[in-house]
Amino acid sequence: MGILVEARGVRKSYRHGDLSTELLRRVDMSVSAGEMVSIVGPSGSGKSTLLYCLAGLEVPDAGEIHLMGVDIVRARRGESAKVRARHVGFVFQQYNLMPSLSVGENVSLPERFAGRRVSRKDMCDLLERVGMGGKEHARPADLSGGEAQRVALARAVASGPDIVFADEPTGALDTANGNVVLDMLRAMADGESRSVVMVTHDLEAAARADRVLVMRDGKIVHMMTRSTSREILAAMEKMEPREAAEGAMLR
């Protein structure tokens, strides 16, 4: 399959009483198999909202989204849920681990939703890879932010998804653990069949991608192929110097 996710003319707004705020204003983008794409932009520019729409977790007001070849805007809820369960991994900005389940149960959950079972060994191996070996019985409430974030990554990749959406997946991590996570995401997209879409404030992380999309005020205002963190910062500064500098982190 060539293109794993594609958005055309996607719009999304929220209404508070009479007031309506446009979060996404005609977004067009696509991600091919074997590609890692980063999305950068100031806080509030709509990055998380776009990721939710691309993954079928939110429904846009207008426009089209094709995920794994399925028109998820028009598909019935059940059908879009099936596409998600079979093909998608999602790392939430706030981790969204289930508090009543152990770490191990959290990691195994998406597979069970997809009607499969994760072997205990696979679950433990995955925790080991993210530096959380032996923590399968821990409760999410007892984890640090960085630990919870690594469990969230393990959960997102446990079912062997074709496309992983990761919202600030290194936001709570130190450099070493951040690199573990980035290496895993990068390795996924280094094959020919799978893709990663990652939102990040960390421009060093963004620079690991094959393509970088710069968002501002609900639109993709700039697209660049393989770029260094300095080139990405320069592009953001060209868009809006003050906000870019506030929103970006350059190590």
Ligand X SMILES: Nc1ncnc2c1ncn2[C@@H]1O[C@H](COP(=O)(O)OP(=O)(O)OP(=O)(O)O)[C@@H](O)[C@H]1O
- What is the contact surface with ligand X in residues (CB under 6 A)? 14, 23, 41, 43-49, 93
- Buried-state track 86-122, b at ≥16 Cβ within 10 A, e below 16: ebbbbbbbebebeeeebbbbbbbbbbeebeeebeeee
Site for Mg ion contains 48 (CB under 5 A): yes
Binding mask 124-163 for Mg ion (x = CB under 5 A): ----------------------------------------
Tally: H helices and E strands in the chain: 9, 10
249 secondary structure, DSSP code: B
Least distance in angstroms from the C-beta of 176 to ligand X: 24
Cβ nearer to ligand X, comparing 47 with 66:
47
Cβ nearer to ligand X, comparing 14 with 113:
14
Least distance in angstroms from the C-beta of 25 to ligand X: 11
Least distance in angstroms from the C-beta of 190 to Mg ion: 26
- Count of residues touching Mg ion (by CB under 5 A): 2
Cβ nearer to ligand X, comparing 37 with 132:
37
Beta-sheet strand order (sheet of 219-225): 88-91, 163-167, 195-199, 36-40, 211-216, 219-225
SS3 222: strand
The entry of ligand X, Mg ion, none near residue 170 (CB within 5 to 8 angstroms by kind) is none
Cβ nearer to ligand X, comparing 12 with 208:
12
Nearest residue to 201 via CA among 248, 132, 139: 248
Question: Could you give phi then psi for residue 240, rounded to 5 degrees?
Answer: -165, 95
Cβ nearer to Mg ion, comparing 48 with 149:
48
Least distance in angstroms from the C-beta of 167 to Mg ion: 6
Least distance in angstroms from the C-beta of 14 to ligand X: 4
DSSP 175-208: HHHHHHHHHHHHHHHHSSS-EEEEE-SBHHHHTT
For residue 66, give both structure tokens: 């094709």
* Chain residues that interact with Mg ion, rule: CB under 5 A: 48, 93
